[in-house]
Amino acid sequence: METRVVFHIDFDYFYAQCEETRSPELKSKPVCVCVYSDRGGDSGAIATANYTARKYGVKSGIPIAFAKKRLDERKDAVFLPVDFEFYTEISEKAMEIMKDYADIFEYVGRDEAYLDVTDRVEGDFEKANHLAQQIKNSIRDKIKLSCSIGISPNKLISKIASDFQKPDGLTTVSPEKVDTFLEQLKIRTIPGIGKKTEERFLEMNLETIQDLKKIDIFTLNKEFGRKTGGYIYNAVRGIDNEPVKKREARIQYSKITTLKQDSKDYQFLSENIIELCKEVHSVVKKNNQMFKSVGIHFVQSDLSNKSKSRMLRSPTTSIEELEKTADQLLKEALENQTITIRRLGVKVSELSEIQGQSDITSYF
């Protein structure tokens, strides 16, 4: 079988880096991009922190108040609200640059993509290394961002490799180096292996991928079930046959409707919101994706616009969560609504895949 050459390109601290491109003076400061909740003050969570902030233990997902405590001694620390439209614009430019270098381009999310470059580099990993450097230079020249690239014969190892020397890394794992590269790494490095699974392995005195290779497939199947056991058995050996599939960037899905009558009545609007959620959900499901952000949109009777959105704790495919969040946003938006509403919309964004490898790993 022909050896493939696959890139995984991942942008370093993407949201915070986007902010640094429009305000270069932020580069030397700890920068935290925050998803503020509607409760006001510091309620909400960190979406992304730059590497200066990370040195103080600030990472995505932690409450803003914790991050402020950890950065207490840094009087120059900056906390900014997320600006998804700006990040999406930059992401689209970056994806266009990458596409030009790929035989097959697979969009994964706003800040990552897979490229199959096998034909372009004639299966040569030396050439692949040069090509990756060209991509990095092009992205830096045109949109002032750094990214990390992993190169290997498949998606799994490339994903691990892109994270190996962050930020601004370039790691090539040619076929003959796969075993040596993987064996030194901690088990947790395998995409999809979470804290619980790692703890279970530690109880079995297994810490590195090399240790885990000693476990036979039957033990893994007994412990984790056939699907997950099989995934782990193959992953530690660097086996992954999932192809890079052509997938264009799809940043969001939305549905908007013109109401039968202009209204600001919660009951009436809520019924319409639930209908819109069902329509959006069926599209997301058909495309085999999860979403992490839910938003609602009003076009008011005076044709002005109003929108509200919320970031969920983790990506989901749940229609119940979509309906509940959209309805909650509706209630909040109507609190001081004076103008009637003419059109109503629901959108989901922050999309990610739930197929192939990711649905195997969603068990962890």
Q: How many Cβ atoms from other residues are within 10 Å of residue 298's Cβ? A: 24
72 is in an annotated binding site: no
Number of alpha helices (DSSP H) and beta strands (DSSP E) in the chain = 14, 13
Task: Work out the number of other CB atoms within 10 angstroms of the CB of residue 294.
Answer: 26
Torsion over CA of 311, 316, 317 and 318, rounded to 10 degrees? -80
- Which one from 20, 112, 198, 323 is the annotated catalytic residue? 112
Under DSSP, the state recorded for 208 is B
Count of Cβ atoms closer than 10 Å to residue 287 Cβ = 14
Residue 163 labelled as part of a binding site: no
Residue 317 tokens, joined = 């495919």
Active site residue 112: yes
Phi, psi for residue 153 in degrees, rounded to 5: -80, -5
CB atoms inside a 10 Å sphere around CB 265: 12
Contacts of 307 (CB under 8 A, 6+ apart): 295, 296, 297, 298
7, β-bridge pairs: 115, 151
Long-range contacts of 274-277 (CB under 8 A, 24+ apart): 274/323, 274/326, 274/327, 276/326, 276/344, 276/345, 276/346, 277/319, 277/322, 277/323, 277/326, 277/346
The annotation places the binding site at: 10, 111
Catalytic residues: 112
Binding residues for Mg(2+): 10, 111
